[in-house]
């Protein structure tokens, strides 16, 4: 496709307030460093201005348990088989409550409680019950599989959103059965919980078709927050040797995700964020604490020093209002 064709496709996406599957594949096939991709990023940035009026959001994520997980996903530091965790570390309820209150400030829209696959749903419910009501943020659950009854119970105790994703090559690179994942996605859809789902975790080996498939599947399940997350190369995990994707490629995928999500989705998240990606359609950045599946040690502070102040600086620098 030449420049003129790309321009026409992008203008159509903006006018239609969404992007087709076929057009998404074409845009993902572009060279991330080409002029055409620059056009894509500019249009996604324009969509962010026109569709979400330059509102930016911070997503705080608390990793509750750095403990060996039998699902052994090949990119995750918590995988039991990789032997990375020498000493399990689990936040107690009071510590989680303190952290929730620490992040419950006007600048943070969501606080996520993230766990390994088999963390107790009852314990998450107990924590939410004690944490409620929050003053500013909404509570998000990011855990293993659950049914509609659990989804409704999570909602009733204070969770508004569930982060749940059909990970790339689910069941091949992960220990989770893709059908189980779909059952949880359906349970979320049938409950009052909103779905948040990025294309996750993206490595250099993933094809454009796989990325498109993930975007449209999450959209079909009604995702209210979408976007893209690069896979981090964690030393000691099987995927380490494959490395990660470039920032230019992440910006390109984020931009396509912005256009696929359409006008009704007001939050597009990118991880890790930088100023280039934030002018490519993303308006949501992540601050993390505790057990991080992308790291070989726990973080008893904001991960890599990226705290609320840094997140604000980045978002405001890209012209977002928080």
Applying CB under 6 A, the residues found at the interface with ligand SF4 are: 69, 71-73, 76, 78-79, 116-117, 174, 176, 293
In whole angstroms, how close is the CB of 218 to ligand SF4 at the nearest point? 17
- The one-character DSSP state at 260 is H
In whole angstroms, how close is the CB of 163 to ligand SF4 at the nearest point? 11
SS3 220: helix
Considering the complex, state which of residue 23 and residue 170 has its C-beta at the smaller distance from ligand SF4: 170
Burial 9-47 (b: 16+ CB within 10 A, else e): bbeebbeeebbbeebbbbbbebebeeebbbbbbebbbeb
Beta carbons within 10 angstroms of residue 73's beta carbon: 23
Closest CA to 112 of 126, 96, 123: 96
In whole angstroms, how close is the CB of 64 to ligand SF4 at the nearest point? 11
Considering the complex, state which of residue 71 and residue 217 has its C-beta at the smaller distance from ligand SF4: 71
CA 21/CA 24 separation, integer angstroms = 5
Considering the complex, state which of residue 72 and residue 283 has its C-beta at the smaller distance from ligand SF4: 72
Phi, psi for 172 (deg, rounded to 5):
-105, -55
In whole angstroms, how close is the CB of 67 to ligand SF4 at the nearest point? 9
Considering the complex, state which of residue 39 and residue 72 has its C-beta at the smaller distance from ligand SF4: 72
Considering the complex, state which of residue 9 and residue 72 has its C-beta at the smaller distance from ligand SF4: 72
Considering the complex, state which of residue 27 and residue 176 has its C-beta at the smaller distance from ligand SF4: 176
CB of 229 within 8 A of CB of 69?
no
Phi, psi for 319 (deg, rounded to 5):
90, 15
In whole angstroms, how close is the CB of 131 to ligand SF4 at the nearest point? 22
Rg (CA), the chain: 19
In whole angstroms, how close is the CB of 239 to ligand SF4 at the nearest point? 11
SS3 123: helix
């Amino acid at each position: 496709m030449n420049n003129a064709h790309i321009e026409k496709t992008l203008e159509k996406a903006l006018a239609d307030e969404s992007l087709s599957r076929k057009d998404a594949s074409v845009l993902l096939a572009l060279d991330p460093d080409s002029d055409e991709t620059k056009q894509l990023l500019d249009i996604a940035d324009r969509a962010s201005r026109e569709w979400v009026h330059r509102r930016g959001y911070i997503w705080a994520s608390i990793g509750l348990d750095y403990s060996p997980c039998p699902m052994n996903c090949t990119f995750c530091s918590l995988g039991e088989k990789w032997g990375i965790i020498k000493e399990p570390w689990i936040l107690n309820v009071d510590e989680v409550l303190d952290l929730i209150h620490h992040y419950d400030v006007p600048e943070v829209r969501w606080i996520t409680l993230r766990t390994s696959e088999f963390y107790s749903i009852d314990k998450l419910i107990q924590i939410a019950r004690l944490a409620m009501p929050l003053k500013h943020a909404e509570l998000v659950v990011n855990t293993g599989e659950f049914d509609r009854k659990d989804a409704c119970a999570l909602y009733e105790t204070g969770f508004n959103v569930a982060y749940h994703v059909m990970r790339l090559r689910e069941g091949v690179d992960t220990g989770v059965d893709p059908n189980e994942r779909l059952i949880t996605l359906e349970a979320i859809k049938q409950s009052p919980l909103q779905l948040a789902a990025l294309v996750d975790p993206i490595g250099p080996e993933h094809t454009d078709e796989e990325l498109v498939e993930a975007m449209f599947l999450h959209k079909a399940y009604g995702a209210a927050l979408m976007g893209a997350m690069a896979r981090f190369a964690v030393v000691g995990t099987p995927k380490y040797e494959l490395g990660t994707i470039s920032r230019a490629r992440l910006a390109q995928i984020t931009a396509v995700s912005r256009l696929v999500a359409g006008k009704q989705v007001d939050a597009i998240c990118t991880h890790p964020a930088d100023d280039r990606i934030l002018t490519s359609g993303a308006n949501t950045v992540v601050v993390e604490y505790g057990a991080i599946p992308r790291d070989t040690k726990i973080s008893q502070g904001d991960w890599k020093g990226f705290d609320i102040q840094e997140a604000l600086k980045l978002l405001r620098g890209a012209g977002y209002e928080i």
